[in-house]
Structure 1
Amino acid sequence: MKIRFDRLGATPVNFESSINGVKFSGSIKKSTLNLAKCNGNLTGELEHICDSCGADIVLSLNEELNLNLSDGVYKDSDNELSNTIEFYDGQIDTDEILISELEAFKSDYFYCKKCKILEGE
């Protein structure tokens, strides 16, 4: 789903996107001229492989996301890392956010039940 920055206001716009059984839903509202706040949730199941033995596993997702969405380049006033995603065409693409957040989630280490026991978890 694409939402134009210039159509956002103080009233939140609800959205929902899904890819391969994972749903991203929530609301977006404008916070400054070129910045919007996104409050959402990632829910569903994601197929993955065990990072130890390579067995197929299914990850359950129930993650809360609070993001800043910038219309163009974002300059952080405190020079700190922030949860800001930049868009350059005047539109917010919730599918793009979903893909990005899924890839970030998958970059962590995940183990099957057998390997968790071997690791002592």
Structure 2
Amino acid sequence: MKIAFSKLNNTPYPFKLDLENIVFEGNMVKINPKLVKINATMKGFVYRPCDRCGEELELDIDEELEIFASDGLFKDIQNELSNTIEFFDSQIDLMEIAVSEFEAYLSDYFYCKNCSED
């Protein structure tokens, strides 16, 4: 799902994506001509092996996200890491953002009940 930067303004633009067992939904608001703020939630569940013993576990996901999308190159004035994704075709690809945030969540370590008690 792609949304053109030109369609966005300071009125919240709602969206919702279903990614199998994960729902990515929220709204987007333009905060300046080149920057959009995205407030979203990522909810659902996924099956994943325990990182210690390999037993399959069900992860319940309920994450609040605040992401920025830039129309072109983004220069952080304070030279600090920010949660800004750059797009170079004047469109925000919500599917790309959702998959990226989901993969970032899964990059953490997860342990089953037996292994987390050790």
Give me the whole-angstrom Cα distance separating, in 2, the residues matched to 1:50 and 1:27.
33
Alignment deviations for residues 43-91 of structure 1 (CA, whole Å, 9 cap, x no partner): 0001211110111111111110011111111110000001111111111
SS of 1:23's equivalent in the other structure is strand
Q: Unmatched 5+ residue regions in structure 1?
A: none
* 2:65 matches 1:69: no
| Partner in structure 2 of residue 108 of structure 1 | 108
Gaps of at least 5 residues in structure 2 are none
Q: Does 1:89 align with 2:115?
A: no
Aligned amino acid, residue 11 of structure 1: T
Q: Partner residue of 1:99?
A: 99
> Which SS does the other structure have where 2:99 is aligned?
helix
TM-score (norm 2): 0.96
Partner of 1:117: 117
What secondary structure does 2:10 align onto?
Answer: coil
Q: Residue type of the partner of 2:35?
A: L
**TM-score (normalizing by structure 1):** 0.94
Give how far 1:20 is off: 2.1
Q: Which residue of 2 aligns with 1:17?
A: 17
Moved over 2 A (4+): none
1:114 aligned counterpart, secondary structure: helix
Quick one: distance in 2 between partners of 1:47 and 1:20? 12
The answer for the alignment partner of 1:50 in structure 2 is 50
Separation (CA, whole Å) in 2 of partners of 1:35 and 1:22: 26
The Cα RMSD (Å) is: 0.8
Whole-Å separation in 2 of the counterparts to 1:46 and 1:84: 26
**Distance in 1 between residues matched to 2:4 and 2:37, nearest whole Å:** 14
